[in-house]
Chain A
Amino acid sequence: MIQPNDSFEEIESAVVRFAGDSGDGMQTVGERFTDSSAFAGNDIATLPDFPAEIRAPAGTLAGVSGFQLQFGSREILTPGDVPDALVVMNPAALKANIEDLPEGGMLVVNVDSFKKINLAKAGYDTNPLEDEEFRKKYHLIELDLTGLTKEALAETSLKPSDKARCKNFFALGFMYFVYGRPLEPTLKFFDDKWAKRLPELAEANSLALKAGYNLGDTLETARNRYQVSKVAAQPGVYRKISGNEALVYGLVVASKKANRDLLYSGYPITPASPVLEGLSQLKKYGVKSVQAEDEIAAMGVALGASFAGALSVCATSGPGMCLKSEFIGLASITELPLIICNVQRGGPSTGLPTKTEQSDLLQALFSRHGDCPLPVLAAHSPSDCFDCGMEAVRIALTYMTPVILLSDLYLANGSEPWRIPNVVDLPGIENSFANEDEEYVIYRRDPETLARTQAIPGQVGLEHRIGGLEKGEDGGVSYDPENHEEMTRLRADKIAGISKSFDPIEIRGESEGDLLVIGWGGTYGAISSAVGNLRDEGFSVSSVHLRYVNPLPDELGDVMSRFKKVIVPELNLGQLAMILRAKYLIDVISYGKVQGKPFKVSELREKFLEHVN
């Protein structure tokens, strides 16, 4: 192991961003830096940011792919507003990212890509690295990454072009030196990934990584080194987890807890495809996965499986939700349990398919025709997708209803450390199955939950028909006007009553005061950080983050009324704000943003400050 010979400056947290061409391996080095920081015991949050095109023309702005992470010895809730250090592999990456780097920030540049042709592709008339003012503005570190990597790999058998492709790991090694990161997790990664199949590649990448690290040791300009100590975390076993991974695990654990085989049915769509891929690998756990011919079919397969007794799950994104709407209505009127996950992205239409947004809330609440309320949950962090997956299953099976679970691209692709729960300690989930020894009345309801019971094909003597036509309690088709109203109200009351099973609202801060911030979904980290900072400065600001968007928690109106002002920041044009205004007749302030990017802590702080005193 390389011994550092410099003294470190102790810092509480740092934000590092890697940016390069889509093919430069920026997501890979970002993930490795994250693993290494987790291994070092830091808290972390990540923000992968990549274009919709798999390989946009090389060297262009459209092809820039980035990965930002924040790591710290304190609680880290967001990937950071602005980077402390920016690594750019080409002029386009510089151009796309430099505005975010504060003056004095560390800028590591792969100088050999700053040739005329690449500068032109990025829209630079002159080389910014030759501009004296630019050079003075940042802590600039110019590295000929291609040349240095080739040199480091001179003895290996790789082709010259393949050698150059290892330069991302050279850059990573250099950044490991700057931030005193351990190399072991990355070396282990090379070993796991390539040692058997392509041992020469594993060796080359290891050499590049170490050479990058060693360069830091000898380079005068890299004398500033930073140390970020371990975060004081609750004892336990931890791992790094992304929102989509957590969702997959939550659903599988819930299926075992409910003793009901999981059937997943999906159609590939960004950013939900990893849920399909993840569950397809879990056949060992009894998971059946179907890649359907389209989004509608995915929902139909899930509904059919639910009728036959499976725990059925679909995951999609906004455009897929549009296509599923008619089937969701059928699931509602037939009162079958089903989980529909919407990993939201920028819309409408194809919109911003690889950027985050929270603009499908009203769609989740209202996309069906008819009066058709459904439970809607929203996860607030990558690891919370696990809990929400389990909670969605609990609600679906207890109340015999489809449940919409909202995640978003930011949570789906972002990662954080997760304290792994003990599976045996997690609560069991009850089913509402019918009993063969009793008369089966399809829509007879549990007086407490208003849920019907479910008879599964194969159960003797419980043969029955369900379908999209309105039914009477006995399951017969009924066009009776009063019956329709009664059934519509019963279905609505059932959903409204789910709130009785919720834990009390958690208020961050005092339970009364000047300003209450209400958020939902992936904005949790930014809102909590901004509110926390303002409270530390003595402002009377509290926050509530909603897991349940429908039904809303019973006491939410009371909580809101105890504050002078209520503000709702969300990554849409005010969808939750509209619901709260309509439901509580409170003049909530809406703060919306739709740029495909998460909130910055600083912009929220500024906005909240406008409304206190």
Chain B
Amino acid sequence: MRRLYIILVMAVCISIILFVVAFFYIDTHRHTTFFYNIYQNQNIFSTARLDKYNTEDKIVYKSETLTPFHSVYDKHRRNLSINKKGLKVHSYNKKHLSEGVSMNIYIMRVDSSINFLAVGHSNFAYANRLPMNKDFVVFEKDAIISYFNLVDKYDFKLGGLQSIHALTHTYTFLPPHKSDLEVWIHDEEIIEIAGKKIKAVCLKIKLPDKNEIYVWINRWTHIPLLVKEPRSGFKAVYQETQKRITAKRYTRESDEYENREIAFKNKDISLSGTISVPKGEGPFKAVILAWGPGPQDREALGMFTDIADGLARNDTAVLRFDKRGIAKSEGDFSRFTGEDLISDLSCALDFLLKQEEIDKDRIAILGHSEGGYSAAHLAAINPNISACIIMAGVEAVNLPDTDLEMMWDFDKSATNWNEKYMNDISDTAKDTAEILKSGKDWALLLHKRIFLKKCRLDIEKKSSDIIRKLGVPTLILRGGKDTVTLPGHIELLEEALKDGGNDVYEIIYFNRLNHFFGEKVEDGTHRTHLSIDKNVIDTIAKWLNKNLIVAPEPAPEPPAEETASPEEEETPEEGAIELREIEEDPPEENISRKGVL
């Protein structure tokens, strides 16, 4: 009996060894790895590893791009599965990852159509069977995996100019865009890659926006060696090993204020942040910052770093913190709803009220984009908020996107939209709404468990109801070049404020600025971040000084005519007006103001 056990154990051990050996053998023969360095404007931006697997029926490409310079995500994973028969795309999966956060895109071929699913944190979009009659490649110009797919599809025997149908996914919650790429052999030359001279074929790709991309591929193996898009400064270069690169975080410090790391609790969840407190004698007026959509930390792509710095220099304490489940804050961002967000902001306010150096009667809240809604909501329900600042509206109309990198390119990609694509968007909206009709919190789509609650609550929420309840002084800022919120959105906000009887509001347009009130900065040292225009911060600081004033000693009320200041006398009831106080700094045409002061 004992001998039998020994034999059995030996058999199991030998089987395991054979299995492991078989795995290694199979992997060696069916798997190849390639490395690339990716440059943006001469600076190294990311490094990519691409694995190619040959299975019985499919060619599977898997890539992982490390992007320490990306504004939000550290890693981008892509999987592309191609049927060997006819080299048809079977499925495509894209994942953007950062600390505890992921954004997933799934595209799956079903007969002559595709299924599309986007899961961005606690949001989602779904399209069932979008028509896709033609064979296609998946093409994203900054993803090295796309060039493998494209080179596979180009018929070298036929040669010449070939039109290849492509699917490009740009906006997280919008379906992939269909277009045609023109590809042809441009040249043959010897290029030097990784210290070796290699005979290469140069393929030229003409994109629908007329941009041209050059791809040098190995003459014999057809492996992409060098990819260049001269106009955008994008370049991918083949490497023999993967290089490790790091980027610094964008921070700002000054002797005029102190940045303190803080943490407060919302029930069991600990939320971490930074409070910037001016040096000198308090108590100081204070501002809580509320972010726009997506996985944002306390810096909000550098926007809050700049705002906190600018306001703290102007004797204002600023509290900013990481969203639930992001960076150092605890919680699950994939089940995060608008209600949780308001609750977290409310706890931040409670934290501020407990601080000795903060003047409890002079606390304001500032929200950017979707954060404008959160800010208005808290200001409407909590009497401890004395003023509210709404930057760039209260919601992103028609763009439930959280991918800010893509938003910057919105104008360019929008020009390629056609009627067919608008139909795809419409179908996606319908299919997504159909899923939400179930009223459930969870659903199973394409074998993935999807959280529905946030999406449903977002649709049900009515921002105008909240704005009507907003009784505190309110400042609304809008960039004239904002392509995310519609211009009419601000008028609706104003109407709601008037309906609610709020007569202490001001609307300021920064005509040359966009949704983010600043520029994207790619300096090759720090993570990609935003630099907010100084005029915006100065305007906020001045407005806060004017509206968050220390309560005066009670005095007998003088007659109404005598109290009116010269400024108030000059102010017309309605319409855009220029104010003298900001004329000297920015050019007059860049800022216009409107409102009842």
A and B: partners?
Answer: no
Q: Write the residues of chain A forming the contact surface with B, with a CB cutoff of 8 angstroms.
A: none
Contact surface of B with A, Cβ cutoff 8 Å: none
